[in-house]
Chain A
C-alpha cells in the first residue's frame, strides 16, 4: 500500500508537471509575447510574469525581443540639395511597439531590420536632398543643421515604421559622413594646396613680424636716446646757467677776471714737448737785459 502511494504520488507529480508545462508560460523581462488561437493573434503580453494558455494545438505563443535594437544603415552615396555627392551612414534604435501587428506584418527581427533599412535609406535620401552640404559640415556652428536633419529623418521614419511594421523607432543618428573615393583624391590635392599656402603665410608672417619688431625696437631706442640727449642737454644748460650766476662776481673787475683767466689758460696750454719762443722783454726774462731790469729806486 505504501509503495503504491509513492508510485501514485510520483506519477501524479509528473502528470501535473506535464499539464502545467502545457498551460503555463512565462514572459521574461525585456520580452514580448503574442498568443495565437488557431493561428490568429489574440493577445499580446509585454509585462513579465507567469501566464496561462490553452495547450497546443489550440494556442501557440510567439516570443520577441522587446528591448531596443540597433540598426546600422548602409554607408552609401546620396545627394545634397546643392548637388554634392556624399556618403552618409545612419543608425537607428528601434523596438517592437505593437507585437501583434509585428507578428502579422513582419514576423522576425531579421525581416524587420531588412524593412527598416529600406525605410531608413529612402528617408535619408529624401531628407538630405532638402539640405545643403554646408548644413552638415560648417565651421560656423550656427549654420550646422545636424539636429534638424536628424529630427526630420526620425519623424519620417517613426511614423511609417509604426504604421507599417508595428515598430517604434526611438532614436536615430548620423554615424558616418564621407566622400566618394574619387573625390578624396581631389580633397587631398586641395588640402595640400591649402597647407602650402598656410606654410608660406607662416614663413612670410615670421619675416614680417621680425622686421616689425626690429623696427619698433629701433624706434624705441631712438626715442629713448633722443630723450636722454635732451635731458643731458638740459642738465648741461642748467650747469651753464648756474655757472653764469657765479660769473656775476667777475663784473667787479672784468679786466682782472680776463687776466686771471688768461693765466689759467696759459698754464693749462703749455705742456711738455712744447717749444716756446719768448721775447726778452717778457718778465722775468727782461732780467737778462742787465741794468735795464733793475727796479727804478735802486739806480
Chain B
C-alpha cells in the first residue's frame, strides 16, 4: 500500500513542478513578446533620415516612406529593417588622385604612385580637389547606387581630367584658377544630373594646385621675372608721370611768362604813350625849353646814381683838359647825390 501512495506523492510533486514551470514559461513568453515588440523602437538622429523595409520593400506611401529625426516604431527583425541615410548636412569628398607621393624625391613621376593631371599644353600639374554635396534623392542614393561617395569621387576626378585638359598650364596654375574651378564645377553638376546620382553639388573647390617639384624652381623664376617686369613698368610709369607733371609745370611757367610779358609791354607802352601825349601838349607850345628841361632833369637823376663823373673841356685852342672829378668816394646806398 505504501508504493501507490509514494507514486501519488511523486505525481503530485511532478504536476506541481510542471504547473509552476508552465506558469513561468508563460510569463517568460509574454515577456519575450513584449521585449520583441519593443525592439522595434528606433531613433532617427538629427542629421539623418531612415527608410523602413518591411519584407525587403520600403514601407509606407509618399512622404510617409521617409522617417525624419525622432522616435519611431516598426516591426522588429526579421520582418522589418531600418536603413539610415545621412542628410541635410553637407558632405565633403576630397580627391587626392592628382597628388604626388609624399616625401619621395625622384626625377620622374611614377604612374600609379604619383598622381598628376595633364594640361591642354601637355604640362603636368598636381592638384587637390574637393566636392561638397547634399543628398537629395534618398532612395536613389540608398538603393540604386552601391557606393555613392566612390562614384562621386570618380566623377570629380573625371571632371578634373576633362577640364584641365583644355587649360594651358599658366591659366590652370595661376591666371584662370577660378575659371578652371568653375568648369569642373559645372561639368560635375552636369554629369551628376545626367547620371541621376541623387545628390545636389553645392560646390567644387580647388584646394591646392602646384607644378611638380621637379620644375617648381623654373615656375618660381617665371613669377620672379613677371614681378621684375611689373616693377620695371611701374617704375617707368612713375617716371613718366613725374615727367608729365614737370612738363605741365614748365608749360604753365612759359605761358605765365608770356602773359607777364604781354601785361608789362602793354602797360609800359601805354604809360609811355600817356606820357608822350602829356609832354607833347606842352612841347608844342615851347619845344626848346621843354626839351632842354627834360634833358637836364634826366641827366640830374641819371648822374645822381653814377659814382664817377669826368668832364672833358676843350679850350679855344683845341686842347682837351680833364676838368672835374665829382664824388670820388663811393657813397652809401640811398644817399642823396
Cβ of A48 and Cβ of B225 under 8 Å apart? Answer: no
Given the known inter-chain contacts A235-B258, A250-B273, A270-B302, please indicate yes or no for A48 contacting B247, CB distance below 8 A: no
Contacting residues, chain B, for A220 (C-beta < 8 A): 243-244, 247
Q: Is B185 an interface residue (CB 8 A)?
A: no
**Contact digits for A175-200, partner B, Cβ 8 Å, 1 yes 0 no:** 11111111011011001101110111
Contacts of A6 in B (CB 8 A): 22, 26
Expressed in whole angstroms, the Cα–Cα distance for A152 and B165 within the complex equals 19
CB under 8 Å from chain B, chain A span 189-218: 191-192, 194-196, 198-200, 202-203, 205-207, 209-211, 213-214, 216-218
Contact B225 A236 (CB under 8 A): no
Interface string of A268-286 (1 = CB under 8 A from B): 0111111111111111110
B178 within 8 A of A: no
- Residues 111-146 of A at the B interface (beta carbon under 8 Å): 136-141, 144, 146
Chain B residues lying within 8 Å of A57, measured Cβ to Cβ, are: none
Check B208 for interface membership: any CB of A closer than 8 A: no
Q: Is the CB of B167 within 8 A of A139?
A: yes
Residue B218 contacts which of A195, A233, A283 (CB distance < 8 angstroms)?
A195
- Decide: A270 and B225 in contact? CB cutoff 8 A: no
Complex contact A263–B294 (CB within 8 A): yes
Residues on the B chain within 8 Å of A289, using CB: 313
Q: How far is the CA of A177 from the CA of B147 in the complex (A)?
A: 24
Question: Is A210 within 8 A of B302, CB to CB?
Answer: no
Report if B48 contacts A (CB, 8 A): no
> When A68-B144, A227-B251, A280-B311 are in contact, do A192 and B215 touch as well, CB less than 8 Å?
yes
For A69, give its contact among B58, B139, B146, B280 (CB under 8 Å). Answer: B146
Contact B323 A280 (CB under 8 A): yes
- Interface stretch of the complex, out of A26-34, A36-44, A99-107: A26-34
**In the bound complex, do residue A29 and residue B269 qualify as a contact, i.e. CB atoms below 8 Å apart?**
no
List of A residues within 8 angstroms of B277 by Cβ: 249
Chain A CB within 10 Å — which of B51, B155, B300 has the most?
B155
Q: When chains A and B are docked, how far (Å) is the Cα of A170 from the Cα of B155? A: 13
CB of B275 within 8 Å of the partner chain: yes
Please determine whether A75 and B111 come into contact, CB atoms closer than 8 angstroms.
yes
Is the CB of A257 closer than 8 A to any CB of chain B? Answer: yes
- Within residues 134 to 173 of chain B, which ones have a CB less than 8 A from any CB in chain A? 139, 142-147, 150-151, 154-155, 157-158, 161-162, 165-170
Q: Which residues of B contact A65 (CB under 8 A)?
A: 146
Are B221 and A199 neighbours in the complex by a CB distance under 8 Å? yes
For A205, A210, A261, the residue with the greatest tally of chain B CB atoms inside 10 Å of its CB is A210
Shortest A144–chain B CB gap in Å is 5
Interface mask (B40-70 → A, CB under 8 Å = 1, otherwise 0)? 0000000000010101111000000000000
Instruction: Confirm or deny: A160 has a beta carbon within 8 angstroms of a beta carbon on chain B.
Output: no
Residues of B within 8 A of A140 (CB): 120, 166
Contact (Cβ within 8 A) B230 A224: no
CA separation between A271 and B230, bound complex, in Å? 61
Q: Determine if A209 and B233 form an interchain contact, defined as CB atoms under 8 angstroms apart.
A: yes
Contact B146 A274 (CB under 8 A): no
The answer, yes or no, to whether B259 is at the interface (CB within 8 Å) is: yes
Identify the stretch in B1-9, B85-93, B121-129, B199-207 within 8 Å (CB) of chain A at 4 or more residues: B121-129
Interface assignment of A19: CB less than 8 Å from any CB of chain B:
no
A236: chain B residues within 8 A (beta carbon): 258, 261-262, 265
For the residues of B in contact with A, the DSSP-based class is: helix
CB-based contact B276/A203 at 8 Å: no
With both beta carbons as reference points, the residue of chain B lying nearest to A171 in the complex is identified as B195
User: With an 8 A cutoff between CB atoms, is A50 at the interface?
Assistant: yes
- Given A174-B158, A195-B215, residue A216 in contact with residue B266 (CB < 8 A): no
Contact with B along A252-275 (1 / 0, CB 8 A): 110011011101101101111111
Give the interface size bracket for B toward A: 35 or more
The residues of A that contact B142 with a CB separation of less than 8 Å are 29-30
Contact (Cβ within 8 A) A198 B225? yes
Question: Given A181-B109, A246-B269, do A138 and B166 touch, yes or no (CB 8 Å)?
Answer: yes
Encoded as 1 (CB less than 8 Å from any B CB) or 0, chain A from 52 to 72 comes to 000000000000010111101
Chain B residues contacting A16 (CB-CB under 8 Å) are none
Taking the complex as formed, is A232 at the interface, i.e. its CB lies under 8 A from any CB of chain B?
yes
Chain B residues near A (Cβ < 8 Å) = 18-19, 22, 26, 29, 51, 53, 55-58, 81, 83, 97, 107-112, 115-124, 139, 142-147, 150-151, 154-155, 157-158, 161-162, 165-170, 191, 195, 211-212, 214-215, 218-219, 221-222, 224-226, 228-233, 235-237, 239-241, 243-244, 246-248, 250-252, 254-255, 257-259, 261-266, 268-270, 272-273, 275-277, 279-280, 283, 287, 291-292, 294-296, 298-303, 305-314, 323-324
Given contacts A136-B165, A175-B154, A192-B215, 14 further A-B contacts (CB under 8 A): A26-B56, A27-B57, A137-B118, A140-B166, A173-B191, A174-B158, A177-B118, A187-B122, A256-B276, A256-B279, A260-B294, A263-B295, A270-B306, A283-B292
Q: A-side interface residues toward B, CB under 8 Å?
A: 3, 6, 10, 26-31, 47-50, 65, 67-70, 72, 75, 87, 91, 93, 136-141, 144, 146, 170-171, 173-182, 184-185, 187-188, 191-192, 194-196, 198-200, 202-203, 205-207, 209-211, 213-214, 216-218, 220-221, 224-225, 227-229, 231-236, 238-240, 242-243, 246-247, 249-250, 252-253, 256-257, 259-261, 263-264, 266-267, 269-285, 288-289
